[in-house]
Amino acid sequence: MHNEKTTITASIASLYKRLFTHYTVMASDLFDKFRFGQGAGNTNNRPTNTPQPDSSPESSGSAVPNTPSDGNVGNTPPPASGNTFDRSQLGQVFIPPSLLSLDSGNAPKMDDATFKKFRDFVYEQCGISFTENKKYLLEGRIAKRLEAHNLTTFDEYYRLISSSAAAREELPSLFEVVTINETYFFRNPPQFEALEQVILPEILKAKQAQGNKKLRIWSAASSSGEEAYTMSMMILERIKPQFPGFTFEIVGSDINTAVLEKARSGVFKEYSVRNMPAHYLNKYFTRDGDKYVLTPEVRNQVKFICVNLYDTPTMRTMTGFDVVFCCNVLIYFDTIAKQQVVADLYDALNKSGYLFIGYSESLHGVSKAFKLVHFPKTIAYKKE
């Protein structure tokens, strides 16, 4: 009886630890929204130049982002949109059924040597860097793939992904669990305002003078497509009437094939459209129960492809873009990987093209190839 009670107690303790980790991540997301003005009236607590060396995936859009290492280079967070914190967002915190179904006492554990093998493998494949203090994060995510394959140890799974034949089929699923996909429509309004009001008119006028009537935009790491579709709606609404006769092509890419399928469907839940201006929501979506379906004219301007930003041979095929959005991606990488990815993004741009990165990201110490251009409440990097 004593042993049984001890086992039950250990299982409960382990489950509470997992629940605490999950709630911490979700609370960080809410704090991020509060701190960056999506429900906070006080703008005096914005981050300035405190460096955050940790570059794990946990630091991406669904958690508190890293701040730039150079306060003069990093983007300025957007202004507050209200005077009170929207406590209704707390309803979005939930316990996934998959978490509740875990037998915590029997969950596989990853020793230090195994962690290093997986950490190195993930880094070599896609450049994502897991520091040692994020061992629990990598362990929890890869454990999902053990369950999917009915495996009992991490070594079994490592042998699976190390097999060239099996790896080709399994790698997309591995990438799916080690990346974070937090996005929604009109996520960074100052960037879209700079794009609409300054950058696109500047580029289109130059193209018009050259007799070039095609503009291309790349939404790198586009996740489920909200960023790419935001630009498509903005072009239909604001840009095409000013520049008739132009062809607009938007390419959305991601390493995660599952989110790309969702993006291609053009179907979204309320969470994705929560910041959508009412005019856009009414004009470019149809309602189907609790789903919001994009109109064909928005979808037809966008195509989605699978691209690993850390794969230079593939990146060399991505050329001829006038604008690239690569937001909340660089924080996944260490400095060496950042330098490689940014160099490839530079090559992907046409001359006088622009690169946007996330508010918490900076090219300081990464690249000197771009010219820093300031806009109201945001910045961009121009290829000259």
b (16+ CB within 10 A) / e for 179-190: bbbebbbbbbbb
Gap between the Cα atoms of 73 and 33, Å rounded? 22
Residue 83 pLDDT: 40
Q: Which is nearest to 228 in space by CA: 176, 263, 194, 202?
A: 263
* Angstrom distance (rounded) from CA 247 to CA 236: 11
Residue 106 has a pLDDT of 60
pLDDT at 228: 97
pLDDT at 175: 83
pLDDT value at residue 104 = 45
The Cα 358–Cα 365 span in angstroms is 16
pLDDT for position 20? 46
Residues of the chain scoring pLDDT < 50: 2-18, 20-105
CA gap 75, 66 in Å, rounded: 12
User: Side chain identity at 201, as an amino acid letter?
Assistant: P
- pLDDT recorded at residue 99: 41
Residue 33 CB-density burial (10 A; 0-12 exposed, 13-18 middle, 19+ buried): middle
Tens digit of pLDDT for each residue in 276-317? 999 999 999 999 999 999 999 999 999 999 999 999 999 999
Q: Tokens 């790198």 sit at which residue?
A: 220
Domains, the chain, with CATH or none: 108-180 (1.10.155.10), 189-382 (3.40.50.150)
For 46, other C-beta atoms within 10 Å of its C-beta total 17
